[in-house]
Chains A and B, each alone.
Chain A
Amino acid sequence: MSQLNTLISQHPLEGIAHTGVFGKLSKTYPGVYFETPPQRKIIRLMPFREKAHAVNLILQDLYSMTMPGTGKFSQKDNLTIGWSAKNRWYITETPNSDTVSFCKIKNALSGLAAISDASQGLISIIIDGDDSRALISKGCVLNLSHFLPGDSTPSLMAHTNVHIYRLSESKFEILVPASHVTNFWEWLCLSAEEFGFQVTFLDQKFTEITENFDHTIPFEKLDKAT
């Protein structure tokens, strides 16, 4: 049966997240911006013992990048390689790009590293804005004075194991486990109400599905900003 073309992978935030501007607006613009990027490829890379150097040589050859040091991530074009835990990195590719192929990297690193596909299990949410730090500080104990642009860390936020990249002074990317993301999103929105927040979906296809989705998950309605 050839039905793959008719399959629609269901984003966990379908029917939950809504575009728009919500909450209290101070200074006439939202204090926080949420973006939900289209689902990207995320590959979990864990080198075997004493194979890190060999892995780096191959990554350099494939992508002109190597695994960054502890607590860091590096970006080049569509690709991000970020440290995520002891002996573990995430290779992330922006959507509609074909640089990273799971099979290709698995074959290239065969015998050198454990490779697994984390694309479906981690949901990316980008937080930006004047009040992004205050928002993150609500749920996360991270000292943002010492967590600088270019840094990467696992942490706990709103009782959820997340991974955080600091992209700039005010911009963060949070990777949230799929099973938690609905709960996390609700917490994020309620916590951002006092700053005012704007939600944007970066995937047109996602937006279409959201708008056409005809069943609602019980969730407190957020007041549209007036």
Chain B
Amino acid sequence: MSKQPNRLSQTVNECRIDRTKPIQFIFNGKSYQGYQGDTLASALLANGVTLIARSFKYHRPRGILTADAHEPSALVQLGSGSKCEPNIPATTIELYDGLEARSQNCWPSLAFDVMSINSLFSPIFVAGFYYKTFKWPAKFWTNFYEPIIRKAAGMGELSGKIDPDTYEKAHDHCDVLVIGGGISGIMAAKSAADSGAQVILCDENPVLGGQISDGKPPLEEVSGKGPLVEQVETLLQLRDMNNVRIMPRSMVFGWYDNNTFGVIEQVSDHLPQPEKNQPRQRMRKIVAQQIILATGSHERSLVFPNNDRPGVMLASAVQRYIRQYSVRPGQKAVIFTNNDSTKKLVNDLNSAGIIVSAYVDAREDITSDFSDIQCSNILNGYVVDNVHGGKKVQAVTLRPCNGGPLKKIDCDLICVSGGWNPAVQLLAQRGQKPQWSENYQNFLPQFSTGEDFLCTGSLAGLESTRDCLDHARLVGEIAGKRISGNTNISLEKLTSITTTKELETHNTGFFEVLSDKGKSFIDLQNDVTRKDVELAAREGYRSVEHVKRYTTLGMATDQGKTSNINGIATLSRSLNKPISQVGTTGFRPPYRPVSLGVLAGRSRGKHWRPILRTPLHNWVYAQGGKFIESGLWHRSQYFPINGETMAQSIDREVRTVREKVGFCDVSTLGKIDLQGPDAATFLNRVYCNGFAKLPVGRSRYGLMLREDGIVFDDGTVTRLDDDHYFITTTSAESCSIVSHLEYCHQVLWPELDICLADVGEDWAAIALAGPHSRKVLSEIVDNLDVSNDTLPFLKAVTTTVLGGLETRLFRISFSGEMAYELFVPSQHGADLAKMLMIVGEKYGIAPYGVEALDVLRIEKGHVSSELNKFTTASDLGLGGMMSKTKDYIGHRLSQRPGLIAPDREVVVGLLPLNPKHSFAQGAHIITTGTSATAENDDGYITSAAWSPTLNSYIGIALVRRGRERIGQIVDIVDPLNGKKPVTAKIVSHHFYDLENTRVTA
């Protein structure tokens, strides 16, 4: 195990690591040591490991570029077994004991990757090459080209196993949400909290403070009482305030409507194992009144030849590794910059014992004072012409901008700074178009202030610590005042700070070195080079959005955070158009990749959606009944006995109902209680048939239309009392009907005096059907004459059964047999079922499920699946129910020519000439002798079943001009499933008991 050769001896200022807690970890099968507080990246650098991965397309050696979450190169495969996870930036992985990680996209090893041969073919693999190649021969694509490309593509691999971790979700509310826990965010949060507002402060890092991470300011601040030391105290105060919640390790990934934010909290990712019952991650939805964005800015690199070699790092990253992790990323460094932010780095490098071989500033005419830089080789007006070395930087060649001799300097570390990009992504998610600032040479928010948000810190363009703190304090005060209800707040002071600072700033617009000495990368993660963007421009792409898609610039997991601006600058030069006109691409959530597991939360496996259970559920289970999903319900499907198959069970259940007696759980029916003096009027308006004269104690079938005249639902209405009705609906439409009726009541006719209540949960419902149903019924009712004279078809009574159990008893049939529907209080549903079995045993009673129910209703010819959102009442053979004397919803539009055309598809029955020939729902109808084409399509099967009653397969179909074609022979074709056509005769869809003698017996 190595002993961290690049770990600096203990310094006063290291703040992230705890040397008293060493940690062992494994990278590519080799053991290393780090410390608690390290990231995988810092620990690897401390151990002298700079080669981390291979790039996406060219399999070039890659190291660590940043110290941030948007690291484009050092992506590793983390963990093993079912916890294996690909494409994790090493810079985000908090080290823990036993951590295992390995390089990805390399074979057989990181050091020797066979696929690096791709580099030889780079002239072919330019941007958009897949639009121009692999086209011939065409048949090679499916069997040869595509499998190879798929095999080669992608980074990392999934385990293929079930994720063993749990994920949670939570909802939070606050007055002020501060996004970003750097110095500006901390100050803004404190300022807002001082006003009494409830504040949430989020930061994606484990330690807040940005530059002052965890309370230890940088070197130059230790002795003084500078602004950063003040912030240390502010952070400590924040932690003690009751109205402040600090959420570290919480990344705000999306800004949604109504100021709802999606946040991912890493709960236990940094632990070797989650604690028992502890989730891995939590997704929070935070709703805020005011938002303060202090998301900071990202340093960008520069584009020069071989700028992707391990050892090329962002200057700010080098600084952080030295200051926060006590890591020496190299021995001899060259700084390549175009701005003054790298000056302090020289002192950090010196203090870390790193030789500063050269300070290369690309600006030719600069007024900066370099006297405070302790470097003997300051080169203004020079650029990096090439980087030497393969798996590691070994030297750079420098070139004067205005021509002149080249200089080659040995080094193993290049610290690059091309400027800073404000993190505008969240604002762009809300539709803002970032605006180019010539002074800052970056994209600023289009609007830094709004009614409910304020930007501060470097996001607002501010560059100095003092400016950030002053601005943030003011922003926090304003947010606090807004929460207090003060709407008359001037933002003039706020905007004057940012405007003045912008005018005072004149950053240099230098982005790229024009040299052909090697590949100059813009997007490291997708291997997009400067030449790719130039090629796109030559090939006619003008829009930055098109160039993005054509080259894949900015389409990797870092979403262009390290590449966008440089790519835009290259495009700007290629198009000879200023950057302000080229613009930038848009941004969508998530801000950084989020795991699918946390988005799913608890909604996985059995719990991916709610399961609804009827009151008879446990009883059905105890009987050995099988369940089927019907929407969210688990309904009893069939009740096999003695090893029956499903088909055998259904046949038996159907015959039992036809010949003896059976009962079915119909508790899923929608049930609505309607009361009030205007209840009859209301019913008359919502149903197409009449209800005004429905007598008390009677039921009636009701047909409800949509406003457009299409059938909405069919159900029943029972009049329990003068102003009291009980409505049933189909199970599938129960929620829709309740909503519809509420809409009618509250919006269309608020003047009607009615009350509606969804009472579906209050009642269990059982359909008792069959020739012996009356006998069974007579043995459970209390003192009720159930003869046909007293309880004829469609009669309804409120009574009791089983010695006092309140029951609503309706004589209604869906099966085509003598039948009753019994509604009892829901928690007694199972009792009723048990007693029916006991009482009905001597009559041969058996329960039946929805499969048998469907066969029975198909035999009878009741429509069900024919209500498919396209059919009219007339199509269904129910046109006679449409009243001609009253108005009702759907009345007018049901008369549209298209809905009354004579050639519409209408409900008919189908009997195969060979009763044993089956056909499926969805099969199509064509005239015999014609071919199965769309032109010959005459309709389709809507219901199909084997009928044990008729000893034949039967079906209901929607057939063009169907009623005119009764008796015609047609073919039922099912080309999708490759079945042979079935010849059948068009018949009435009422296959059984046409005269309704059994129903009314």
A183-B610 in contact given A1-B779, A48-B676, A137-B171 (Cβ < 8 Å): yes
Contacts of B610 in A (CB 8 A): 158-160, 180, 183-184
B275 lies within 8 A of chain A by Cβ? yes
Q: Quick check: which of A62-70, A72-80, A91-99, A118-126 contacts chain B, the rest being far away? A: A118-126
Q: Do B612 and A3 have beta carbons less than 8 Å apart?
A: no
Helix, strand, loop or mixed for chain B's interface?
Answer: mixed
The answer, yes or no, to whether B775 is at the interface (CB within 8 Å) is no
| Nearest CB in chain B: distance from A161 CB, A | 9
**B825 close to A (CB within 8 Å):** yes
Select which of A8, A119, A160 is within 8 A of B825 by beta carbon: A119
Which among B173, B621, B760 is the interface contact of A215 at CB below 8 angstroms? Answer: B621
Number of contacting residues on B, CB 8 A? Answer: 61
In the bound complex, CA of A12 to CA of B166 (Å): 27
A18 proximal to B (CB < 8 A): no
In-complex Cβ contact of B827 among A5, A10, A137 (8 A): A10
A39: nearest residue on chain B (CB-CB)?
B827
Interface secondary structure of A, over-half rule: loop
In the bound complex, do residue A48 and residue B761 qualify as a contact, i.e. CB atoms below 8 Å apart?
A: no
Task: For A39, list chain B residues within 8 Å (CB).
Answer: 827
Which of the listed residues A121, A122, A134, A191 has the most CB atoms from chain B within 10 Å of its own CB? A121
Q: Do B277 and A193 touch across chains, with their CB atoms under 8 A apart? A: yes
- Complex Cα distance, B757 from A121, in Å, reads 12
Docked-complex contact B831 and A10, CB < 8 angstroms: yes
Contact B612 A183 (CB under 8 A): yes
Check if B753 is an interface residue, CB within 8 A of chain A. Answer: yes
B757 touches A120 (CB 8 A): no
B761-783 CB contacts (< 8 Å) to partner A? 761-763, 779-780, 782
Q: Is B618 an interface residue (CB 8 A)?
A: yes
- B93 on the A face (CB < 8 A): no
Q: Which residues of A contact B805 (CB under 8 A)?
A: 4, 7
Q: With the chains together, A23 CA to B831 CA distance in Å?
A: 35
Query: How far does the Cβ of A45 sit from chain B's closest Cβ, in whole Å?
Result: 9
Contact of A10 among B611, B618, B724 (CB under 8 A): B618
Which A residues touch B804, using CB under 8 A?
2, 4
Is A15 an interface residue, CB under 8 A from the partner?
yes
Interface residues of A, CB < 8 Å — how many? 65
Most chain A Cβ neighbours within 10 Å, of B606, B613, B755: B755
Whether, in the assembled complex, A141 has its beta carbon less than 8 Å from a beta carbon of chain B, the answer is: yes
Contact with B along A141-173 (1 / 0, CB 8 A): 111111000000000001110000000000000
What A residues does B830 contact at CB under 8 A?
A: 10
A129 within 8 A of B: no
A49: nearest residue on chain B (CB-CB)? Answer: B753
Chain B residues, Cβ within 8 Å of A184:
610
B613 touches A179 (CB 8 A): yes
Interface contact A134-B170, CB-CB below 8 Å: yes
The complex places the Cα of A86 from the Cα of B198 at a distance, in Å, of: 31
Find out whether the CB atom of B802 lies under 8 angstroms from the CB atom of A48.
no
User: Which residues in window 824-870 of B have CB below 8 A to A?
Assistant: 825-831, 835, 839
Which of A23, A122, A134, A187 is in CB contact (< 8 Å) with B761?
A: A122
Bound CA–CA A142/B803 (angstroms) = 45
CA distance A60 to B252 in the complex (A): 52
Q: Quick one: which of B198, B675, B825 contacts A114, CB cutoff 8 A?
A: B675
Given A49-B753, A88-B757, A179-B613, do A114 and B673 touch, yes or no (CB 8 Å)? yes
A7 and B831 contact, CB distance less than 8 A: yes
Interface residue? A107 (CB, 8 A)? no
B279 x A3 contact (CB < 8 A):
no
Given known pairs A14-B618, A179-B612, the reply for A137 and B170 (CB within 8 Å) is: yes
B677 part of interface (Cβ distance < 8 Å): yes
Instruction: Choose one: A24, A142, A215; the contact of B622 (CB below 8 Å).
Output: A215
**B609 contacts the other chain (CB 8 A):** yes
Q: Are B761 and A121 in contact (CB under 8 A)?
A: yes
Provide the bound-state CA to CA distance between A143 and B174, in Å: 9
Interface residues of B in 727-744 (CB under 8 A from A): none
Nearest chain A CB to B631 CB, angstrom units: 11
Q: With contacts A178-B761, A190-B602 known, is A143 near B173, CB below 8 A?
A: yes
In Å, the complex CA distance between A24 and B277 comes to 6
B512 on interface, CB distance cutoff 8 Å: no
Q: Would A3 and B802 be within 8 Å (CB), given that A48-B755, A143-B287, A182-B611 are in contact? A: yes
Instruction: Tell me if A118 and B759 are in contact (CB < 8 A).
Output: yes
C-alpha spacing A223/B612, complex, angstroms? 25
Find B673's partner among A113, A116, A158 (CB 8 Å cutoff): A116
B762 touches A187 (CB 8 A): no
Residues of the B chain whose Cβ atoms lie less than 8 Å from the Cβ of A87: 755
Residues of A contacting B835 with CB < 8 Å? 3
In whole Å, how far is A147's beta carbon from the nearest beta carbon of chain B? Answer: 10
Cα(A140)–Cα(B169), bound, Å: 10
Residues in chain B near residue A88, CB distance under 8 A: 757
**Residue of chain A at shortest CB distance from B838:** A3
Q: Is the CB of B602 within 8 A of A114?
A: no
A194 with B828: CB separation less than 8 A: no
* CB of B560 closer than 8 Å to a CB of A: no
State A11–B830 Cα separation when bound (angstroms): 10
- Report 6 cross-chain contacts, Cβ distance below 8 Å, ordered by A residue: A2-B803, A4-B804, A7-B802, A138-B171, A177-B761, A217-B618
**A residues lining the B interface (CB < 8 Å):** 1-5, 7-12, 14-15, 23-24, 39, 44, 46-49, 86-88, 113-114, 116-122, 134, 137-146, 158-160, 177-180, 182-184, 186-187, 190-191, 193-194, 196, 215, 217, 220, 223
Closest 8 CB pairs of A and B: A121-B761, A114-B755, A114-B675, A2-B803, A121-B762, A4-B803, A46-B755, A24-B277
